[in-house]
Amino acid sequence: MIDPVVLLQELIRCESVTPQEGGALDHLEKLLTAHGFECHRLKFSDKDTPDVDNLYARWGRATPHLCFAGHTDVVPVGDRSIWSCDPFGGAIKDGQIWGRGTCDMKGPIAAFVAATLNFLAENKPAGSISFLFTGDEEGPAINGTRKVLEWLDKRGEKIDFCIVGEPTSREMLGDMVKIGRRGTFTGRITVTGTQGHVAYPHLADNPIPRLLTLLKTLDDLELDKGTADFQPSNLEIVNIDIGNTVDNVIPAAAHATFNVRFNDQYSGASLEKKLRGEMDALKIPYQMTAVTGGESFYTPPGKYSELLQNAVKKVTGLTPELSTSGGTSDARFIKPYCPVVEFGLVGKTAHKTDEHVAVKDVVALTDIYSEIIRVYCA
Ligand SMILES: [Zn+2]
């Protein structure tokens, strides 16, 4: 039997600070190969981003095909001297396991790998089970999950249901499951004018008031009213940048940046169209560069959320809230291919100094994933 707590300690000891592999994927590949998984190490590169190592491992070829997705990369530890433990030590103290990546998300990885291997040791499921591990979730997310999925698609491999092990629990293990996340869109606007002396404004053309008019219009927009499962899309102005170091010059250009967290009423493209339409109506010349950092994802409540809710309830007694709150995750890349939900440990210490999780939560999470496998793959 695989002990998820021991596996978690082994993974914490791999210093896989993004985009370093740190031995974490090697360790998983060795373990899974020994248990009959077909493993593929997938290294991807792209311009201006680091090369990234990924691992796809599948047991069986039959359907339904359940996939667990997760990232072995972790964020940097920051100032190591203020950690009260070795961030890559995996020590157990006061009923907690300590170290970078314990909750985000080596803990869930240890839990679903242990749950799967222990299940396979005693059962022969009708379907197949796979793992999609990336080393590029905390980094630019260019050479990770998205490219692994494209690779799978080209091979004709179809996933029927995917669970991402992000730390979705808020206060207690099992209090929240994510069935969606908002998308993120960043716009950078430039308005140009003519530089000149403030004392002779008729010889210059100040772009700042026009930029402010554009920003006021954007800020006043009601993008939507939200939906039953999503809060309203929200635009925030995050920077106004004139770069003027003196008080007697009218600047030649003014810049501003805003970010929108948008729900499933928009795609990045439809949102851009809407915002440009609003600004074009003002007849103020501007340029905008737009970047959709991630589309939203949404798996409506139903079969898949119920499967998770029932498993969580059986192990913890809690019925998890189905939420779409928070930032983006790799589920945004998975949603075009199959239904996807996220469930993992309590995320309170994610990305923080002294990241840790309760040993009993790792054990309970393993039981929850086991129950999901038992019900879905039986
Ligand atoms: Zn994460």
Active site residues: 73, 137
Residue 141 scores a pLDDT above 90: no
183-294 fold = Alpha-Beta Plaits (3.30.70)
- Whole-number Å distance, alpha carbon 46 to ligand 1 midpoint, is 22
Reported as half-sphere exposure (CB side, CA atoms, 13 A), residue 23 has a value of: 8
Residues surrounding ion ligand 1 at CB below 5 Å = 104-105
Q: Of 104-113, 131-140, 339-348, which gets the smallest average pLDDT?
A: 131-140
Instruction: List pLDDT tens digits, range 167-220.
Output: 999 999 999 999 999 999 999 999 999 999 999 999 999 999 999 999 999 999
CA of 225 to the centre of ligand 1 (A): 29
Which residues, at least 6 apart from 119, have a Cβ–Cβ distance to it below 8 Å?
Answer: 125, 370, 373, 374, 377
Number of H helices, E strands in the chain: 9, 19
Mean pLDDT over each residue of the chain, to the nearest integer: 96
Ligand 1 center from residue 115 Cα (angstroms): 20
The whole-number pLDDT of residue 328 equals 84
The whole-number pLDDT of residue 139 equals: 83
Confidence (pLDDT) at 137:
87
pLDDT digits (tens, 9 = 90+) for 322-335: 999 988 889 999 99
pLDDT reported for residue 207: 98
Instruction: Compute the distance between CA of residue 238 and CA of residue 81 in angstroms, rounded to an integer.
Output: 32
Q: Given this model, what pLDDT does residue 140 score?
A: 81
pTM of the model: 0.90
Can you give the pLDDT at residue 223? 98
**pLDDT confidence tier of residue 77, bands split at 50, 70 and 90:** very high
pLDDT given at position 138: 85
Q: How far apart are CA 300 and CA 136, in angstroms?
A: 27
Q: What is the mean pLDDT of residues 308-317?
A: 98
283-301 pLDDT tens trace: 999 999 999 988 999 999 9
Domain ranges for the chain? 4-181+296-377, 183-294
How remote is the CA of residue 208 from the centroid of ligand 1, in Å?
A: 40
pLDDT at position 8 is 98
Domain 4-181+296-377 has CATH 3.40.630.10: yes
pLDDT at 44 over 80: yes
Q: Look at residue 157 in the predicted model and tell me its pLDDT.
A: 95
Instruction: Report the separation in Å between the CA atom of 268 and the middle of ligand 1, taken as the mean of its atom positions.
Output: 23
Answer yes or no: are the C-beta atoms of 186 and 293 closer than 8 Å: yes
Asked whether this chain's domains 4-181+296-377 and 183-294 adopt the same fold, the reply is: no
- Cα-based distances in Å from 144 to 132, 157, 373: 10, 17, 25
In 137-180, which ranges are continuous DSSP H helix?
145-154
pLDDT for residue 378: 77
Distance 168 CA to ligand 1 centre (A): 10
Tell me the backbone φ, ψ of residue 20, rounded to 5 degrees: -70, 140
